[in-house]
Amino acid sequence: MINLKNNLNNYNHKILTEQINITSNELDTKSTNEIVNIFSEADKEPQKAVEKAIPEIINAIDEITTRLKSNGKLFYIGTGTSGRLGVLDASECPPTFCTNPDLVQGIIAGGISSLTRSSESLEDLSDIAIADLKGRKFSNRDVLIGITASGRTPYVVGALNYSKSIKALTISISSVPEIDSTLDNDIDIRLITGPEILAGSTRLKAGTATKMALNIISTSVMIKLGKVYGNRMIDLSVSNDKLMNRAIGILNDIGSVDKDTAVQLLKKTNGSVKLSLLIALSGLDVVDAKQLLDESRGNLRAALVNVKDH
């Protein structure tokens, strides 16, 4: 049951994400050209919001990396658009960086069905969020990023409070200033994008800023975990023609080997680009190269530094 009395009491102070954007007044009377230009101008705000949050984002990346290097996991949790963005970022890590699907996980209120159907009634149930985390065996070794544009979603607030109580690394991403919402966290990322073109529709500017921040965070963490060499995705396993061509290109560019040699290396390493690169650059055989890579915690650059000791 919705508490109408509380809603009316809170109406006098509209949080930032619910306020009216004066630049889009009478939007329904505008031409297509005018509508698109209003959106184009507004979409400059997410970049500015992310830029202002760089110190907190840097802190988050370094702290997440430390936890994951100590066998922790990264969890996103949210409802609606926020939940979908977390699930999307988590689901892209295995195909992009060849991670175990358990390493980065996205939790959305209502489960998978909520990716295509709304589950607004669950947004107000903080206890369900805690049960969802416990169901994933979330522990104090792990990291939780709670995503709530309004900074008030009970499902996410409950998850953040629980995470902090068990001393997991607790990070929040919201799109409102502290005057609108105080969150229990270790790292507070505020992406202030202002009122939306459609009042309250945070899938727009707030969602764009959140997607940008998640891209930066997860990609940077994977770089620090040794999933990248230079600016190439080397921790991939060849499983189709596109990836085979990409792998051959990487071995040619970085390992300076021709196509035939690249194919032979990939056959020897069961399609591992990283291991193939180490062999090409070091001259080690498969067994020694694999041992060195394991000793270097999967970091190719570190393994190359340690070649002389092998």
Question: What CATH number does the domain containing 268 carry?
Answer: 1.10.8.1080
Tell me, what's the pLDDT at 52?
A: 98
The residue from 224, 256, 280 where one domain ends is 224
Tell me, what's the pLDDT at 8?
A: 42
Choice between 122 and 160, residue whose per-residue pLDDT is larger: 160
Per-residue confidence band for 17, with pLDDT thresholds at 50, 70 and 90: confident
Sequence-distant (6+) residues with CB within 8 A of 303 are 278, 282, 289, 292, 293, 295, 296
Tell me, what's the pLDDT at 7?
A: 46
Q: Which residues are catalytic?
A: 92, 123
State yes or no: pLDDT of 146 exceeds 90: yes
Q: How far is residue 310's CA from residue 288's CA, in Å, rounded to a whole number? A: 8
As given in the structure block, the two tokens for residue 147 are 């995503």
Per DSSP, the three-state class of 223 is helix
Tell me, what's the pLDDT at 39?
A: 95
pTM for this entry: 0.90
The residue from 224, 244, 260 where one domain ends is 224
State yes or no: pLDDT of 175 exceeds 90: yes
283 and 303 together in one domain? yes
295 and 147 together in one domain? no
Tell me, what's the pLDDT at 105?
A: 98
Tell me, what's the pLDDT at 31?
A: 96
Per-residue confidence band for 10, with pLDDT thresholds at 50, 70 and 90: very low
As given in the structure block, the two tokens for residue 47 are 């970049």
The residue from 224, 248, 280 where one domain ends is 224
For residue 72, what is the domain's CATH number?
A: 3.40.50.10490
State yes or no: pLDDT of 13 exceeds 80: no
Range of the domain at 235: 228-309
State yes or no: pLDDT of 11 exceeds 60: no
**127 inside domain:** yes
220 and 234 together in one domain? no
Residue with tokens 């991939």: 236
Tell me, what's the pLDDT at 295?
A: 94
Closest C-alpha to 214, from 90, 45, 107, 70: 90
Tell me how many domains the chain contains.
2
Radius of gyration of the CA atoms of the chain, in A: 23
Q: Residue 240: what residue type?
A: N
CB 280 within 8 A of CB 256: yes
State yes or no: pLDDT of 12 exceeds 90: no
**How high does pLDDT run on average in the chain?**
92
**118 inside domain:** yes
In eight-state DSSP terms, residue 168 is -
Structure confidence by residue, pLDDT tens digits, 185-202: 999 999 999 999 999 899
State yes or no: pLDDT of 180 exceeds 80: yes
214 and 235 together in one domain? no
Tell me, what's the pLDDT at 310?
A: 60
Cα distances from 16 to residues 6, 149, 152, 174, in angstroms, run: 18, 10, 12, 11
241 and 154 together in one domain? no
Tell me, what's the pLDDT at 1?
A: 41
44 and 138 together in one domain? yes
Tell me, what's the pLDDT at 92?
A: 94
Q: How far is residue 275's CA from residue 234's CA, in Å, rounded to a whole number? A: 9
Instruction: Please report how many Cα atoms fall inside a 13 Å half-sphere around the Cα of residue 155, on the Cβ side.
Output: 26
**81 inside domain:** yes
**35 inside domain:** yes
